[in-house]
């Protein structure tokens, strides 16, 4: 049975390569090609439900990204099964605009790709496929021209320079903690503001990662808006997502929030925020 599933995966991979080959060539590796995106989606649909690890999934669908993953992270990906069920999030106007995941499988994938030299589009498709599916074509094309915004190198570069270079566009992410009996609550918010329509962003994205006292990811949440999803206010836009972790272990939890907004010219501004909260698990 397992042999048949492996044959299925390999056959689907060949189909994907053929679809990719006959699609019109993109101008360069950083250009979004809808036909290639459709071919990859078709491959995922064909292998959906197959028993495989996250390592096998990325190697099948994203071979060029898999090559960049370190042996240590590949071993971790090989120890978790691929989860095919999509997670539901906040829907506005028929589009997903906020999503939360506590699945360890997704968090392992985040660890594996967050510092790779890939595009932000590749990161989004691999880590948040539900969000990617509901993004506009304009946003997808924009993300294909951005570096991996989740990498430490990008954050150091943009956070240290963004306020001095893009003085007419700001993003201000924040994560606030609270607790209520058995729950550790966290709320991600990010405000984007601009001084004139010339600096109005194409879209606004924010994400919070929650770490426990051992610096292990235990949860993540994202929020997103573009002109085709939410109506921007005149000069500012706020996105948010509120979630909770049930019965967490006692300890100090850390939130690392990041947000960015991008202009039609492909220039982007980024900001980050860190918060800590000491949680004591109540006795039962």
Residues 224, 190: one domain? yes
Tokens standing for residue 108: 């392992």
> Of the segments 26-35, 146-155, 221-230, which one has the largest average pLDDT value?
146-155
pLDDT of residue 97: 87
Number of domains in the chain: 2
pLDDT of residue 196: 82
- State which of 26, 54, 82 marks the end of a domain: 82
pLDDT of residue 129: 93
- Mean of the pLDDT values across residues 210-225? 93
pLDDT of residue 159: 85
- State which of 25, 53, 82 marks the end of a domain: 82
Residues 76, 215: one domain? no
pLDDT of residue 163: 58
**pLDDT exceeds 50 at position 103:** yes
Residues 17, 110: one domain? no
Separation of alpha carbons 232 and 93, rounded Å: 14
Residues 47, 126: one domain? no
Residues 2, 112: one domain? no
Nearest to 141 by CA among 149, 129, 132: 132
- Mean of the pLDDT values across residues 48-71? 97
Tokens standing for residue 257: 């929030």
Residues 195, 110: one domain? yes
The pLDDT-based confidence of 4 (bands split at 50, 70, 90) is very low
CB atoms within 10 A of CB 49: 11
- Mean of the pLDDT values across residues 204-212? 96
Cα angle vertex 85, ends 111, 203, to 5°?
60
Separation of alpha carbons 239 and 192, rounded Å: 9
Residues 106, 240: one domain? yes
- Mean of the pLDDT values across residues 24-40? 67
- State which of 53, 82, 111 marks the end of a domain: 82
Beta strands in the chain (DSSP E): 90-92, 95-101, 169-180, 183-194, 203-211, 217-226, 236-246, 251-262, 268-279
Give pLDDT tens digits for 264-273. Answer: 888 889 999 9
Question: CA gyration radius for the chain?
Answer: 19
Residues 33, 156: one domain? no
**pLDDT exceeds 80 at position 222:** yes
Residues 76, 95: one domain? no
Q: What is the DSSP letter of 251?
A: E
Q: In terms of residue numbers, what domain contains 279?
A: 84-284
Residues 114, 66: one domain? no
Nearest to 240 by CA among 89, 117, 56: 89
Give pLDDT tens digits for 143-162. Answer: 999 999 999 999 998 887 76
CATH of the domain at 209: 2.60.40.10
Residues 25, 127: one domain? no
pLDDT of residue 231: 67
């Amino acid at each position: 049975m397992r042999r048949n599933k492996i044959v299925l995966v390999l056959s689907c991979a060949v189909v994907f390569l053929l679809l990719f080959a006959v699609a019109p060539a993109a101008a360069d590796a950083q250009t979004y090609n809808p036909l290639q995106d459709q071919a990859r989606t078709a491959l995922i649909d064909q292998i959906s439900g197959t028993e495989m690890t996250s390592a096998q999934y990325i190697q099948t669908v994203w071979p060029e990204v898999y090559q960049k993953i370190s042996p240590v992270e590949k071993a971790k990906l090989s120890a978790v099964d691929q989860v095919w069920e999509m997670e539901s999030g906040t829907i506005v106007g028929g589009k997903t605009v906020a999503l939360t995941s506590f699945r360890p499988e997704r968090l392992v994938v985040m660890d594996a790709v967050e510092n790779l030299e890939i595009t932000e589009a590749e990161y989004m498709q691999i880590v948040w496929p539900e969000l990617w599916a509901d993004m506009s074509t304009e946003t997808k094309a924009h993300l294909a021209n951005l570096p991996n915004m989740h990498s430490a190198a990008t954050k150091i570069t943009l956070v240290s320079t963004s306020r001095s270079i893009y003085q007419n566009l700001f993003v201000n992410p924040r994560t606030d903690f609270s607790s209520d009996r058995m729950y550790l609550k966290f709320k991600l918010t990010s405000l984007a503001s601009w001084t004139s329509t010339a600096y109005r962003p194409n879209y606004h994205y924010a994400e919070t990662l929650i770490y426990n006292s051992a610096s292990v990811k235990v949860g993540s949440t994202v929020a997103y808006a573009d002109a085709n999803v939410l109506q921007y206010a005149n000069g500012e836009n706020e996105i948010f997502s509120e979630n909770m972790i049930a019965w967490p272990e006692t300890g100090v939890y850390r939130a690392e929030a990041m947000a960015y907004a991008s202009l039609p010219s492909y220039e982007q501004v980024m900001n980050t925020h860190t918060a800590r909260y000491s949680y004591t698990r109540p006795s039962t």
